[in-house]
Chain A
Amino acid sequence: MSERLMQLEVLRYNPESDGETRFQSYEVPCRDEWVVLDALNYVKEHLDPTLSYRWSCHMAVCGSCGMMVNGEPKLACKAFVRDYPEHIRIEPLAHFPVERDLVTVIEDFVSKLASVKPYLIPKKEQPLSSGEYLQTPAQLKKYKQYTLCINCMLCYSACPEYGLIPAFIGPAAITLAHRYNQDSRDGGRNERQEVIAQQVGVWECNFVGACSEVCPKHVDPASALQQVKVASTMDWYKEHLMPWLNK
């Protein structure tokens, strides 16, 4: 088991005493199988207990430990130190305000997520006695990829539109809206369109595609957003050119 001395340059910010962010360096003897989160835990346990960061599962499921690793949005638990040179720069997720050190303010994302109603709104409420809402494998496959989202917000950090226009509903929330819209058991599309078809909804997306490239779960938000654009455009044509269809 080999060990390598790594230089961790970590962004620090203490809201009680700092007016600005600053970088602090730590020398960490990293083992080959370590991820960046292990190196941060080493700092916290052995070098500096004041360092703050979020983490929970250590296995790319909870989506808590998103941060910028050498300028790239990454889950700290999925970024192996062996893939980096001796010097690693760690910053909080880009585009989010810094609460303290590597902890970001995520209320904006959480409220946007809630606004798209990311849950099943059945077409017709059925009594429990009528059993499950059934679905074929093909109907499941239509949206399954989008269910893999863990709300880690790496896509918001990668999205330049979100950085420039913070009102943008953003990749993950619109993708989850699309996930439920694509679900054969769901009837809530009209309610979600109120949010995602507006200007700060899907139309702020310029299809840079960075969201899909950084997604640790291969959800492909860029694809979902382009499909929402196509569907919303079809809505417009149906409403304006074929009004009799809406009768």
Chain B
Amino acid sequence: MAEQVNRKPYVREVSPTRWFLRDRRYMRYMAREVTCLFIGAYTLMLLVGIARLAQGPAAYEAFLAALREPASIVFQVLTLGFALYHTTTWFNVTPKALPLQIGEEFVPGGAVAGAHYVLWALISVVILFLAGVF
């Protein structure tokens, strides 16, 4: 008969609030996730704009004037930077979620991610065209 072994495993606690400080990969992940808050705030701003537009020309003009305030411009530039970071970090991992096998070989990851960038550019051109930029 084997001798009875008394086990007493030691559990190392993970901090529920500071876990992401342990590893630069976790910080990078948090950066990707936190940047979406700015995109959310910008979307709310656009909704406010639509509400002002519905209230009439005077309200809409006031909204446009508020957009030209220095603080507002700083917010918009920051959001543009964060939106670009958020978008590129997600586009760059698309090959992992959508691997494409044609025949025996897999399409190179760069082509899958690249297709997203091309689509992004095309949609941007269409939106700018609809907005009367061209």
Contacts and interface: CB of A to CB of B under 8 A. Distances in A.
| A, B bound | yes
Contact of B96 (A94, A141, A223): A223
Interface stretch (A35-43, A82-90, A204-212): A204-212
A137 interface: yes
Given A105-B9, A210-B26, A164 B97 contact: no
A15 B98 contact: no
Contacts of B105: 141
B68 interface: no
Contacts of B120: none
Interface size class of A (residues with CB under 8 A): 35 or more
B34 to A, nearest CB: 13
A20 B11 CA distance: 10
A220 interface: yes
A208 B19 CA distance: 13
Interface centre among B16, B22, B103, B104, by most A CB within 10 Å?
B104
Contacts, number: 81
A57 interface: no
A210 B96 CA distance: 13
Interface of A: 13, 15-16, 18, 20-21, 71, 94-95, 97-99, 105, 137-138, 141-142, 158, 160, 163-164, 206-210, 212-213, 220, 222-223, 226-227, 229-230
Given A16-B8, A220-B96, A223-B99, 16 more contacts: A13-B10, A15-B9, A18-B10, A71-B23, A97-B12, A98-B12, A138-B104, A141-B105, A158-B23, A160-B22, A208-B25, A208-B26, A210-B23, A226-B93, A226-B96, A226-B97
